[in-house]
Amino acid sequence: ITAYAEELLQECDRLKGWPERVLTMQRNWIGKSVGVEIDFPVVGSPEVIRIFTTRPDTIFGATFMVLAPEHPLIPTLIARQDNAEAVQAFVQRVSREDTITRTAEETEKEGIFTGRYALNPLTQEQIPIWIANFVLMEYGTGAIMAVPAHDQRDLDFARKYHLPVRVVIQPPEGTLDAETMTTAYVEEGEMINSGQFTGLPSPEGKERIADYLEEAGIGRRTVNYRLRDWGISRQRYWGTPIPIIYCPDCGIVPVPYEDLPVELPLDLEFTFGARSPLEESEEFLRVSCPRCGKEGRRETDTMDTFIDSSWYFERYTSPHTTDQPFSPEAAAYWMPVDQYIGGIEHAVLHLLYARFYTKVLRDLGLLKIDEPFQNLLTQGMVIKGGAKMSKSKGNIVDPDQMIKQYGADSVRLFMLFAAPPEKDLEWSDQGIEGAYRFLNRVWRLVTAQLATIQGVTVQEDQMQALSPGVAALRRKVHQTIRKVTADIERFHFNTAIAAIMELVNHLYQFTGEEREEPGAQMALREAIEMLVRLLSPFTPHLAEELWHRLGYTESIAHVAWPSHNPDLAQEEEITLVVQVNGKVRSRISISPDLSEEEMKQVALQDERIRTLTAGKQIKKVVVVPQKLVNIVV
Ligand SMILES: [Zn+2]
């Protein structure tokens, strides 16, 4: 994967449909840093210690060096040293600790002096070589130049072991005291105590020192990535067998193409123990060498599950293909995935591996895309009392119990309504209670209207010239269809449900004489049907039941999603008359919902009115709601 580090990083910028949080995690995981590799000669030895630093401008402040306990040079360095045994004991002890604990900020930094010195190539000073727990072989070169004045870890270490501290970067304000400072100054600044480079600002100093090191042949500019290669073998049964045979004569031999795939044996004994059961199966193990025919043994490690999950979606494009993993033609037609959904815990594992695999398959000529997932939604967690639900915290909610008490529809509606899906959802018993009450309200509304709208069919030609109340109901219905459809597309289920709730409120207010108007029954029939159809993805059981009570025999699941009529959804507009000093000067179309203040603002911002009132003092503005604004100047 390291071969693709740069491309994986660059293309983060092109993933416009991904949450920024995931991209940041991937960028940090890839961890590109541009810096300089520098060789520090070991005093009294032909060896050099190579370090990587992003801050060559601080090299004059490097007062000691630190090696990872696993550094390969250590045995050479400590041979014939008086304290060799103590160093070996330290190395053995620290190497056994896990690297996460070792490098954690709160872990006490500890180290041991090797007895040897290196030459700082810029100061020509001899500086002591230490070994410490906080340096890892996996990062950089496994060795660092320690600049205690400008790195907190190095400063903590220097204070503990009484190592010299030298300030070489001057902050823009204030001065640093090497003797007493407890907080390292890690920002850039002006180089001081730095020989010929003194006075340079950090950015320029970095370049000049890199030039100097390259010319002297003791350093070079280089790019470092935090990303490591991926060990894919696992010592367990469940996984794809690695198709390799070990022959006593030929060594490592791949299983020939025609013998693929190697399948897992099914007749195994699963016993407790550290060994993979594959190692116990002679039938699986014994195989003749494909090259010389001699008896060999199969590899018993299987592949990491991420191997399979990195490309399974390609298989979905041609699930019946038998002679290849997937059909490149089908993949070219279907890929990339338009919308992918997964938890944030996949940010730097599955989601990074899948991107990597896509690029590898592309370079093998099997895919025509660079990236697998166009849009990504990372759903939030369900939390209770502010904490992630867990057995140990005892804040688990039993969904079966909830479903028994309120029904699956209420539980679903609550979860979809409580938060947008990318946010964490705070579990609330009152919330479910609220969803339950709302669905009861829907039930009462629809069942109460059944007698009125029974046998009514919606006929557009009989729905012209409607009274204001009936027209308003139709407008609300079509606006709701428009909003719910758009919100579902964007996964804004909570606002979609809120819009349905508004429609229900509107229907409850559609009472009395309005319902006697021409077309009212048809409009009511349309509104009730649309309400049920819009609810059906959220509360399928309730919707199905109501649908049948409305007289349909086909399942609502097979009914097409409704579409709104843009003309009907259009907000009704009224004409606002604007006067200046009592004379009509402008007419503006506005929504009847505008408040008096909004009407005033619309009038004052009208272009003709602005011209007429320019440079004049407005003494008074009179507003007649939904009709008129008079401006007195
Ligand atoms: Zn062989």
Q: In angstroms, what is the span from residue 251 Cα to ligand 1's centroid?
A: 7
Residues lining ion ligand 1 (Cβ < 5 A) are 247, 249-250, 289, 291-292, 294
Structure-model confidence comparison of residues 196 and 384, the more confident one: 196
Q: Which of 238, 224, 184, 237 lies closest to 58 in space, CA to CA?
A: 184
Predicted pLDDT at 519: 85
Judged on CB neighbours under 10 Å (0-12, 13-18, 19+), 221 is middle
pLDDT(571) > 80: no
Q: In angstroms, what is the span from residue 572 Cα to ligand 1's centroid?
A: 84
Q: In angstroms, what is the span from residue 288 Cα to ligand 1's centroid?
A: 8
Q: In angstroms, what is the span from residue 542 Cα to ligand 1's centroid?
A: 68
Q: In angstroms, what is the span from residue 367 Cα to ligand 1's centroid?
A: 35
> Across residues 50-66, what is the average pLDDT?
96
The domain limits of the chain are 33-224, 233-303, 399-569, 574-632
Q: Which two three-digit tokens encode residue 383?
A: 């939390």
Exposure b/e, 303-337, CB count within 10 A at least 16 = b: ebebbeebbebbeebbeeeeeeebbbebbeebbbb
pLDDT digits (tens, 9 = 90+) for 554-568: 999 999 999 998 888
The region that residue 568 occupies, defined by phi over 0 for left and psi between -120 and 50 for alpha, beta otherwise, is alpha
Predicted pLDDT at 275: 76
Q: Are 114 and 69 in contact (CB under 8 A)?
A: no
pLDDT digits (tens, 9 = 90+) for 200-218: 999 999 999 999 999 999 9
Predicted pLDDT at 340: 95
Among 193-197, 351-355, 507-511, 522-526, the range scoring the smallest mean pLDDT is 507-511
Q: In angstroms, what is the span from residue 249 Cα to ligand 1's centroid?
A: 5
Q: CA torsion, points 398, 399, 405, 408, in degrees to nearest 10?
A: 180
Distance CA 118, CA 559 (A): 79
Predicted pLDDT at 568: 86
Q: Which of 262, 283, 279, 282 lies closest to 271 in space, CA to CA?
A: 279
pLDDT(252) > 90: yes
Q: In angstroms, what is the span from residue 256 Cα to ligand 1's centroid?
A: 13
Structure-model confidence comparison of residues 328 and 98, the more confident one: 328
Q: In angstroms, what is the span from residue 253 Cα to ligand 1's centroid?
A: 7
Class of domain 574-632 (CATH, top level): alpha beta
Distance CA 370, CA 444 (A): 53
Q: In angstroms, what is the span from residue 245 Cα to ligand 1's centroid?
A: 9
Predicted pLDDT at 272: 73
Predicted pLDDT at 140: 79
Q: In angstroms, what is the span from residue 252 Cα to ligand 1's centroid?
A: 9
Q: In angstroms, what is the span from residue 299 Cα to ligand 1's centroid?
A: 14
CA atoms within 13 A on the CB side of 299: 20
Predicted pLDDT at 213: 96
Distance CA 23, CA 561 (A): 35
Predicted pLDDT at 186: 96
pLDDT band at 522 (very low <50, low <70, confident <90, very high): very high
Q: Are 312 and 322 in contact (CB under 8 A)?
A: no
Q: In angstroms, what is the span from residue 287 Cα to ligand 1's centroid?
A: 11
pLDDT digits (tens, 9 = 90+) for 456-485: 888 888 888 788 889 889 999 999 999 999
Q: In angstroms, what is the span from residue 243 Cα to ligand 1's centroid?
A: 15
pLDDT(573) > 90: no
pLDDT(436) > 90: yes
pLDDT(131) > 80: yes
Q: In angstroms, what is the span from residue 295 Cα to ligand 1's centroid?
A: 8
Exposure b/e, 258-291, CB count within 10 A at least 16 = b: eeeebebeeeeeeeeeeebbbbebeebbebebbe
Q: In angstroms, what is the span from residue 236 Cα to ligand 1's centroid?
A: 26
Among 96-105, 286-295, 613-622, the range scoring the smallest mean pLDDT is 96-105
Q: Are 549 and 446 in contact (CB under 8 A)?
A: yes
Q: In angstroms, what is the span from residue 240 Cα to ligand 1's centroid?
A: 23
Q: In angstroms, what is the span from residue 250 Cα to ligand 1's centroid?
A: 4
Q: In angstroms, what is the span from residue 195 Cα to ligand 1's centroid?
A: 64
C-alpha torsion sign, points 366, 371, 374, 375: positive
Mean pLDDT taken over the chain: 92
Q: Are 285 and 279 in contact (CB under 8 A)?
A: yes
Predicted pLDDT at 61: 97
> Across residues 537-548, what is the average pLDDT?
97
> Across residues 184-213, what is the average pLDDT?
96
pLDDT band at 387 (very low <50, low <70, confident <90, very high): confident
pLDDT band at 295 (very low <50, low <70, confident <90, very high): very high
Q: In angstroms, what is the span from residue 247 Cα to ligand 1's centroid?
A: 5
Q: In angstroms, what is the span from residue 291 Cα to ligand 1's centroid?
A: 5
Judged on CB neighbours under 10 Å (0-12, 13-18, 19+), 477 is buried
Q: In angstroms, what is the span from residue 322 Cα to ligand 1's centroid?
A: 30
Q: Which two three-digit tokens encode residue 22?
A: 């995931």
Q: In angstroms, what is the span from residue 261 Cα to ligand 1's centroid?
A: 20
Q: Are 576 and 590 in contact (CB under 8 A)?
A: yes
Q: In angstroms, what is the span from residue 265 Cα to ligand 1's centroid?
A: 23
Predicted pLDDT at 390: 77
CA distances from 28 to 277, 300, 358 (A): 38, 35, 21
Q: In angstroms, what is the span from residue 231 Cα to ligand 1's centroid?
A: 26
Q: In angstroms, what is the span from residue 292 Cα to ligand 1's centroid?
A: 4
Between 2.30.42.10, 1.10.730.10, 3.40.640.10, 3.90.1150.10, what CATH number should domain 399-569 receive?
A: 1.10.730.10
pLDDT band at 371 (very low <50, low <70, confident <90, very high): very high
Q: Are 95 and 62 in contact (CB under 8 A)?
A: no
> Across residues 33-42, what is the average pLDDT?
95
Distance CA 521, CA 456 (A): 7
Predicted pLDDT at 557: 95
Domains 33-224 and 574-632 share a fold: no
Q: In angstroms, what is the span from residue 294 Cα to ligand 1's centroid?
A: 6
Q: Which of 486, 484, 382 lies closest to 426 in space, CA to CA?
A: 382
Q: In angstroms, what is the span from residue 130 Cα to ligand 1's centroid?
A: 48
Quote the percentage of the chain above a pLDDT of 70. Answer: 100
Q: Which two three-digit tokens encode residue 19?
A: 């949450």
Range 33-224: architecture per CATH = Alpha-Beta Complex (3.90)
- Three state DSSP letters for 151-200: CHHHHHHHHHHCCCCCCCEECCCCCCCCCCCCCCCCCCCEECCCHHHCCC
Q: In angstroms, what is the span from residue 296 Cα to ligand 1's centroid?
A: 7
pLDDT band at 313 (very low <50, low <70, confident <90, very high): very high
CA distances from 24 to 20, 32, 223, 330 (A): 6, 12, 19, 32
Quote the percentage of the chain above a pLDDT of 90. Answer: 69
Q: In angstroms, what is the span from residue 187 Cα to ligand 1's centroid?
A: 60
Q: In angstroms, what is the span from residue 290 Cα to ligand 1's centroid?
A: 7
> Across residues 113-117, what is the average pLDDT?
96
Q: In angstroms, what is the span from residue 298 Cα to ligand 1's centroid?
A: 12
